[in-house]
Amino acid sequence: MNDDLSKRRLGRGLAALIGEMDQPTPVEAGKPGVNPDRLVPIEFINRNPKNPRRYFDESELHDLASSIRQHGIVQPVVVRTVSADRYEIIAGERRWRAAQLAGLIEIPVIVRDVDDKTALEIAIVENVQRADLNPLEEALGYEQLIAEHGYTQNDLGEIIGKSRSHVANSLRLLKLPEQVRDMLAGGSLSAGHARALVSTSDPATLARTIVSKGMSVRDAERLAQNDIKAQNDPRPLAARKDDKDSDTLALERTLSDTLGLDVAINHRGSGGQVKISYKTLEQLEEICRLLERR
């Protein structure tokens, strides 16, 4: 079986498993849920250290714990066996954490026999589909699959049900300095704000400006474009021309979002120049593939 076909089938398999986890079937009369394989003492279950999700809102966990005390766990935690009496979470870490807060001694689980690679894929797909990851966690999850299991951006797009450009734009966030990444993870910067800063000269300073002034994504993009133009223009500041018009900036943003790369448009009379910046051979190869399809 060729790799492309294998990965397409894998993507459908992951979607089927997640659908199975969500499919309501009668557990008790009048109570929706998914039939668990067994009840397992909660201390026998460990989190997956490679789960891309790192941040769990404490107030939401306590709310879920209160619900669990009243109604129990309606949806079992999906785990895999790691030894005779130990299990590792594949999906459902939030429920496991809330169950501990609720004081449960044992919880219902569904046991699946999967390897490290598939466990990571399921964790990422489940979290992305349910919008449980912040943009930085999502990007780090994609990076893990690429680095550890050889996935391309196209492969990831097929498996998670997103476009290749979405994956590329997510990965661009990992180029930002730690201070900006912390702001992104904490929610003070959105992914749109952060993407605008990737190619700027001082992302941390610009990020602080964006947050302190409550700037919109469009305002942040203009701020970033002005910074990038200043980097690329060798003339003194007084000699530079006015900013690009809003139509040109909008077209640059559209092309950049489509390609997942930095794009600059410079008009020269009735013609002009489109500059696409890439930093890896994979990005260059992807540009070539896109042009060949036209």
- Structure tokens that stand for 103 in this block: 């004081």
**Residue tagged active-site, from 88, 93, 137, 158:** 93
- What's the confidence (pLDDT) of residue 22? 40
pLDDT above 70 coverage of the chain, percent = 80
Q: Which amino acid is at 60?
A: E
First to last CA, the chain: 29
Torsion angle (degrees, nearest 10) of CA 185, 261, 196, 158:
-40
- The more confidently predicted of residues 120 and 8 is 120
Report how far residue 292's alpha carbon sits from residue 282's, in angstroms, rounded to the nearest whole number: 15
Give the residues across from 31 on adjacent strands: 28
Q: Is 60 a catalytic residue?
A: no
- Which of 256, 240, 236 has the alpha carbon at shortest distance from 248? 256
Whole-structure pTM value: 0.55
Dump pLDDT digits (tens) for 94-152: 889 889 999 999 998 888 888 887 777 777 776 666 656 788 888 888 888 888 777 88
- What's the confidence (pLDDT) of residue 29? 36
